Chain A
Amino acid sequence: AQTVTQSQPEMSVQEAETVTLSCTYDTSESNYYLFWYKQPPSRQMILVIRQEAYKQQNATENRFSVNFQKAAKSFSLKISDSQLGDTAMYFCAFMKPDNYQLIWGAGTKLIIKP
């Protein structure tokens, strides 16, 4: 069975700094999808970025980028020039192809300080 582990329960950085959230996963699949979701205090679950395992290139969305290390089964999220609005819970999630179940990590609480 697939598992997703986020080892940092909480992180705190100053505004404008760069922060990296870690995520590791366990699977025997060779192809799959990985996601980072943001959950602000409103509780809305918002997709931040996603990665297809068969793509070597790391995904990037504006200030958000990932470091995908397939052999190490690692999928970290880097937030550059952090903003107060980035304060939220961040969840890493895994999905097998041709499936629909998202397997979630426990989340990392990120606090951006002014």
Chain B
Amino acid sequence: NAGVMQNPRHLVRRRGQEARLRCSPMKGHSHVYWYRQLPEEGLKFMVYLQKENIIDESGMPKERFSAEFPKEGPSILRIQQVVRGDSAAYFCASSPVGQGGMNTEAFFGQGTRLTVV
């Protein structure tokens, strides 16, 4: 059973371009979480999705950021018109059911490091 797969591992974008980050959850997992890690900081929650539904996007910046988790295919985190401050590592995690306790551990991918130049 492959783990959570994120691609690309590294992404370089010029200011103003779009960044698309992909996350394929573990087989059988229908819940996906995106976190952002700024340099020298811990992870910060961004969004929680189930198949075809956004459950909680309270951690997402109001503009330029969007996320989806379609019925088929990976979850996508999309950042439009990137700025230098978007440079960070973006982590995806998945769980088989909603992570609300000890029996629903979320498994993390290796992250995508976005660099905006």
A101 in contact with B100 (CB, 8 Å):
no
Cβ–Cβ contact B102 & A50, under 8 A: yes
Task: Please tell me if the beta carbons of B102 and A33 are within 8 angstroms of each other in the complex.
Answer: yes
Closest to B111 in A: A43
Query: Given A100-B99, A106-B42, do A43 and B89 touch, yes or no (CB 8 Å)?
Result: yes
How far, in angstroms, from A4 to B44 measured CA to CA in the complex? 12
Max count, chain A CB within 10 A of own CB: residue among B43, B45, B59? B43
> CA of A93 to CA of B33 in the docked complex: distance in angstroms?
15
**Interface residue total, chain B, C-beta cutoff 8 A:** 27
| Complex contacts, B41 vs chain A, CB 8 Å | 106-107
Hey, which chain A residues are within 8 Å of B45, CB to CB?
101-103
Q: Mark A37-49, 1 if CB is under 8 A from B, else 0.
A: 1000011111100
Partner of A33 from the list B43, B59, B101, B113 (CB cut-off 8 Å) is B101
Q: Which of A11-59 contact B (CB under 8 A)?
A: 33, 37, 42-47, 50, 52
Restricting to A67-106, which residues have a CB under 8 Å from any CB of B?
91, 93, 95, 97-106
Closest to B113 in A: A43
Chain B contacts for A43, CB-based, 8 A:
89, 110-111, 113
Q: How far is the CB of B106 from chain A (nearest CB, A)?
A: 8
The minimal Cβ–Cβ distance linking A22 to chain B, given in whole angstroms, is: 15
Enumerate chain B interface residues (CB-CB to A < 8 A): 31, 33, 35, 40-45, 48, 56, 59, 89, 91, 93, 98-102, 105-106, 108-111, 113
